[in-house]
A and B are shown apart, each in its own frame.
Chain A
């Protein structure tokens, strides 16, 4: 669903993700409404039967230039400012979400994607397929790779995911606050078993 209430969010980085998404969404929505509103106003205001303007397009006559550089630079300025401030604003968030947390209380779990399932290897060497258990309140790092082809390891309730690339490691982390069962699913087409390439994340 588009938005979730704060109680439905099971932990980080989903909180951060939603805050950024909401920023993008509200800005995007506002800009969309203004721009499209302007468009519809112009169409309403300058319709043939209401407009008193002259017709300047004549057959066989190359139209003259209209509009001025100042207005265009205004367009440029507005779009550039909005876009670049969003980017600059999200640089610290990017490193927050992307930097792999380190420390003694961080649990690192190896994840190996394969056609079609997920294998998890805990720090103590025990393995499990299709299910991974993590404690509440701890930060868990998933070190992801693939046995065969490109997969995408996604924990949608935590708003995070990363590609599982054969021959390479990629990392994501979660920090769950809410006990419960969550879905881990492959988000990159990987053959006939793709739709059912799911695993359970058990927090608690």
Chain B
């Protein structure tokens, strides 16, 4: 047996890598941000109830609205879903932890510090960003919003994207390779499925946003003109933001749908109606969500045929959601329904989602959009979808799994009262918005007298909704201390998390679950559970702190910036050193169900997924390049006129040769020929260094010719894209140094040279990207 950790020690929470502890950390942090975002909303609802008052002036109002949106979408609702994902996905698939526990801790700490970085903007000169959570350019550029808060929140976003990317890799690899023996894809519970769809959406949506934010940051800090010139401008931001922004809606929603699926199954005591088709619909919706985003730009005068097509795709995304909702409702048919608090919240969520969905169809109509863009119709619709459907779904999950997480039952009557008050408050808050739907959103005051009573009603609803959460806090706090013991399976649920103790032990299952046919058995393995090692490390926390200090210093104080950089690099070095010494090794699960990844190690799969996110980042950047270049038409100078094709060609050959030497290193690693691995890696390192050196020569020549970062859009695009690529090359060089050290230290003695092989994948990818850049900038 494993010793129980000391849950009252602060050190435990700062160093834990256990997925359940990380889940709890996510839970409390996201509830904290929910409270912050909610308080901001209550503040501006008060202002709107009495438009003649100046509780918030225009600037403060815009700050409150912007931060409310950013915090709620990015730091409250989606992470709340990830609290459950962290806690439950390994339990539901019968795994001991996530694939990369230490990276999971890193995800959490990056998330926490990115949220704090966003919140810090309230306290710096110029205040928080006030440009709307959509950060529309050119309003968000330095000319129109010079305050440092806009840059800082942008950097917070970059940090959050890093956190999300790490989570994405972690969850995909976990579900793909760590399922309990016999747990095929078709047997995975709905919630885990929904998380899988969520992270797949994240995989493709978040890194193009990183590209967009990066360009904005370069504009703001170095004075380029990506978003201030008409060739980029509003359209460039619109494309990069909404390519992320629309899938983000489903990223937020998807986990709630999964929870509803699990809750309905448990409390109707019947299998879900059309479970297979619900999953197919989720997959279809995930795909379609990437080709609807132009409906956010219907009013921008875009080509009519593009808009008609996007109008059709937008209508189309309602079809899979129609199927999902109708299947949920038909799951109640011929059931034996136990009306509990989680069930009520699930039903409430479906109710509100249907209203949100139907009112959303209005938005897909181009003629109707001429009025309702920018109105309270949109505000009401998006809150029905994102607060109604999503938050109610997540609350269903919170009540549903509370007994599992704490081992105690909450007070059922109080839970139902909470539901009733929250549901009424919610509708009093948002239904009137449909009545005064032509009111503009994001205004701190208005002069139409008929709007006042409705706004006051909305404010009343908002306070009822907000205050209802006190009941939840009281209920959970009280029950945690004196609630009746819940037992392993208070609801009679079928899925694996209900087969272990409440709360589960650190290693999740005393005996390994094995699935044969449709039956789960806990495999006793001679009566003793396998030993479980808890890894504790403070490195993820310090690394995130280092990034936090670096970003904060970058915007407000240079000494702080230097401290941050030193801290970050020191922690990175320490992290790599501890890996060189193999201090943190998690054995590959041997018996797990991992079709079709039987022969792919966790690490290799992780690297492949990393490559996809990187590819999406460059796709975003190259997309920006294409848009600008097409818009500039003749004004963009042909590549050979500006760039030295010969020198660029030599550099391309240098980089391709390094790919060859890396391939050699990989080949030698198969035979375990240590000397030759070292030699090939050293050669690659040298070639990569040469590549950077030649690039430096090219840049200095271009600078001398007056082709500087800000001299033209073509120049800005060239420098940003090639330096992002060069940064990847430098990153690769650091990894090579690490590999060389590890080989020298004998770190690969026990288990092949996996690191070398996986690095090869990454390095070839970087080279392929360069071939694209070479063609786009030098040849075309």
Seen from chain A, the residues whose Cβ lies within 8 Å of a Cβ on chain B are: 1-2, 13, 16-17, 20-21, 24, 28, 31-32, 35-36, 38-39, 42-43, 46-48, 51, 53-69, 71-72, 75-76, 78-80, 83-84, 86-87, 90-91, 93-95, 97-98, 115, 148-150, 152, 154, 156, 159-163, 165-172, 185-196
**Residues on the A chain within 8 Å of B338, using CB:** 48
Known contacts A24-B365, A35-B354, A168-B301; A61/B318 CB under 8 A? no
Q: Which of B83-91, B401-409, B515-523, B707-715 contacts A (4 or more CB under 8 A)?
A: B515-523
**Residues on the B chain within 8 Å of A160, using CB:** 370-371
Q: How far, in whole Å, are A75 and B450 apart by their CA atoms in the complex?
A: 41
Q: How far, in whole Å, are A20 and B370 apart by their CA atoms in the complex?
A: 12
Whether the pair A39, B329 counts as a contact (CB closer than 8 A) is yes
Whether the pair B370, A172 counts as a contact (CB closer than 8 A) is yes
Known contacts A32-B355, A71-B330, A165-B301; A152/B373 CB under 8 A? yes
Whether the pair A195, B444 counts as a contact (CB closer than 8 A) is yes
Known contacts A46-B337, A170-B300; A94/B375 CB under 8 A? no
Q: How far, in whole Å, are A69 and B273 apart by their CA atoms in the complex?
A: 10
Query: Digit string of B320-350 for contact with A (CB within 8 Å is 1, else 0)?
Result: 0011011101111111111100000001001
**Residues on the A chain within 8 Å of B59, using CB:** 192
Known contacts A1-B450, A17-B368, A79-B323; A87/B339 CB under 8 A? no
Whether the pair A150, B271 counts as a contact (CB closer than 8 A) is no
Name A63's closest neighbour in chain B (CB-CB): B271
Name A96's closest neighbour in chain B (CB-CB): B367
**Residues on the A chain within 8 Å of B450, using CB:** 1
Q: How far, in whole Å, are A84 and B364 apart by their CA atoms in the complex?
A: 11
**Residues on the A chain within 8 Å of B435, using CB:** 1-2
Q: How far, in whole Å, are A17 and B235 apart by their CA atoms in the complex?
A: 27
| B518 CB, nearest partner CB in chain A, Å | 4
**6 shortest A-B CB distances, which residue pairs?**
A167-B230, A187-B374, A79-B322, A63-B271, A170-B301, A67-B274
Q: How far, in whole Å, are A149 and B337 apart by their CA atoms in the complex?
A: 55
**Residues on the B chain within 8 Å of A97, using CB:** 366-367, 370
| B400 CB, nearest partner CB in chain A, Å | 14
| A91 CB, nearest partner CB in chain B, Å | 7
Whether the pair A24, B361 counts as a contact (CB closer than 8 A) is yes
Q: How far, in whole Å, are A85 and B234 apart by their CA atoms in the complex?
A: 33
| A11 CB, nearest partner CB in chain B, Å | 14
**Residue B584 at the A interface, CB < 8 A?**
no
- Contacting A48 at CB < 8 Å: which of B139, B275, B339, B498? B339
Name B519's closest neighbour in chain A (CB-CB): A61
Name B272's closest neighbour in chain A (CB-CB): A66
- Contacting A194 at CB < 8 Å: which of B62, B265, B275, B498? B62
Whether the pair B311, A48 counts as a contact (CB closer than 8 A) is no
- Contacting B323 at CB < 8 Å: which of A72, A95, A185, A190? A72
**Residues on the A chain within 8 Å of B375, using CB:** 187
Q: How far, in whole Å, are A43 and B336 apart by their CA atoms in the complex?
A: 9
Whether the pair A63, B371 counts as a contact (CB closer than 8 A) is no
Whether the pair A156, B438 counts as a contact (CB closer than 8 A) is yes
Q: Which of B130-138, B196-204, B572-580 contacts A (4 or more CB under 8 A)?
A: B130-138
Q: How far, in whole Å, are A170 and B301 apart by their CA atoms in the complex?
A: 5
Whether the pair B370, A159 counts as a contact (CB closer than 8 A) is yes
Whether the pair A83, B316 counts as a contact (CB closer than 8 A) is yes
Whether the pair A166, B350 counts as a contact (CB closer than 8 A) is no
**Residues on the A chain within 8 Å of B131, using CB:** 189, 191
**Residues on the A chain within 8 Å of B499, using CB:** 59-60
21 example contacts (A-B, Cβ-Cβ < 8 A) are as follows: A16-B367, A20-B367, A24-B362, A39-B332, A56-B270, A57-B265, A57-B266, A67-B327, A72-B277, A72-B323, A87-B311, A97-B366, A150-B136, A150-B234, A152-B374, A168-B301, A185-B440, A187-B374, A187-B441, A189-B62, A191-B131
Query: Digit string of B274-316 for contact with A (CB within 8 Å is 1, else 0)?
Result: 1111000000000000000000010111001000100110011
Whether the pair B361, A46 counts as a contact (CB closer than 8 A) is no
**Residues on the B chain within 8 Å of A72, using CB:** 274, 277, 323, 327
Known contacts A59-B493, A161-B373; A2/B274 CB under 8 A? no
Whether the pair B368, A21 counts as a contact (CB closer than 8 A) is yes
**Residues on the A chain within 8 Å of B304, using CB:** 94-95, 98
Whether the pair A192, B322 counts as a contact (CB closer than 8 A) is no
Name B143's closest neighbour in chain A (CB-CB): A148
**Residue B741 at the A interface, CB < 8 A?**
no
- Contacting B366 at CB < 8 Å: which of A76, A94, A148, A150? A94
Name B448's closest neighbour in chain A (CB-CB): A183
| B315 CB, nearest partner CB in chain A, Å | 4
- Contacting B520 at CB < 8 Å: which of A60, A67, A115? A60
**Residues on the A chain within 8 Å of B325, using CB:** 35
**Residue B233 at the A interface, CB < 8 A?**
yes
**Residue B446 at the A interface, CB < 8 A?**
yes
Q: How far, in whole Å, are A17 and B322 apart by their CA atoms in the complex?
A: 26
Q: How far, in whole Å, are A169 and B131 apart by their CA atoms in the complex?
A: 23
**Residues on the B chain within 8 Å of A46, using CB:** 268, 332-337
Q: How far, in whole Å, are A113 and B763 apart by their CA atoms in the complex?
A: 49
- Contacting A66 at CB < 8 Å: which of B275, B336, B436? B275
- Contacting B443 at CB < 8 Å: which of A39, A148, A165, A195? A195
Q: How far, in whole Å, are A28 and B361 apart by their CA atoms in the complex?
A: 9
**Residues on the A chain within 8 Å of B332, using CB:** 39, 42-43, 46
- Of B62, B299, B442, most buried by chain A (CB within 10 Å of CB) is B299
Interface size class of B (residues with CB under 8 A): 35 or more
- Of B304, B331, B440, most buried by chain A (CB within 10 Å of CB) is B440
Whether the pair A42, B442 counts as a contact (CB closer than 8 A) is no
Q: How far, in whole Å, are A65 and B446 apart by their CA atoms in the complex?
A: 54
- Contacting A188 at CB < 8 Å: which of B61, B145, B374? B374
**Residues on the A chain within 8 Å of B347, using CB:** 39, 43
Name A186's closest neighbour in chain B (CB-CB): B440
Whether the pair A1, B136 counts as a contact (CB closer than 8 A) is no
Q: How far, in whole Å, are A79 and B326 apart by their CA atoms in the complex?
A: 10
Q: How far, in whole Å, are A65 and B443 apart by their CA atoms in the complex?
A: 50
Whether the pair B371, A156 counts as a contact (CB closer than 8 A) is yes
| A58 CB, nearest partner CB in chain B, Å | 6
**Residue B82 at the A interface, CB < 8 A?**
no
Whether the pair A62, B520 counts as a contact (CB closer than 8 A) is yes
- Contacting A90 at CB < 8 Å: which of B318, B367, B373? B367
Known contacts A161-B299, A187-B373, A187-B440; A149/B494 CB under 8 A? no
Whether the pair A166, B138 counts as a contact (CB closer than 8 A) is yes
Whether the pair B494, A65 counts as a contact (CB closer than 8 A) is no
Name A170's closest neighbour in chain B (CB-CB): B301
- Contacting B515 at CB < 8 Å: which of A62, A148, A149, A172? A62
- Contacting A60 at CB < 8 Å: which of B275, B374, B519? B519
Q: How far, in whole Å, are A32 and B359 apart by their CA atoms in the complex?
A: 10
Q: How far, in whole Å, are A66 and B332 apart by their CA atoms in the complex?
A: 12
**Residues on the A chain within 8 Å of B234, using CB:** 149-150, 163, 165-166
Q: How far, in whole Å, are A162 and B370 apart by their CA atoms in the complex?
A: 6
Known contacts A59-B492, A194-B442, A195-B445; A80/B336 CB under 8 A? no
Whether the pair B494, A60 counts as a contact (CB closer than 8 A) is yes
**Residues on the B chain within 8 Å of A32, using CB:** 354-355, 358
Q: Other than A17-B367, A32-B358, A194-B442, give 6 A-B pairs with Cβ distance below 8 A.
A: A64-B271, A68-B274, A76-B319, A159-B371, A167-B233, A189-B441
- Of A2, A72, A169, most buried by chain B (CB within 10 Å of CB) is A72
Known contacts A28-B359, A60-B520; A71/B301 CB under 8 A? no
**Residue B434 at the A interface, CB < 8 A?**
yes
**Residues on the B chain within 8 Å of A65, using CB:** 271, 275-276
**Residues on the B chain within 8 Å of A115, using CB:** 144
Name A51's closest neighbour in chain B (CB-CB): B336
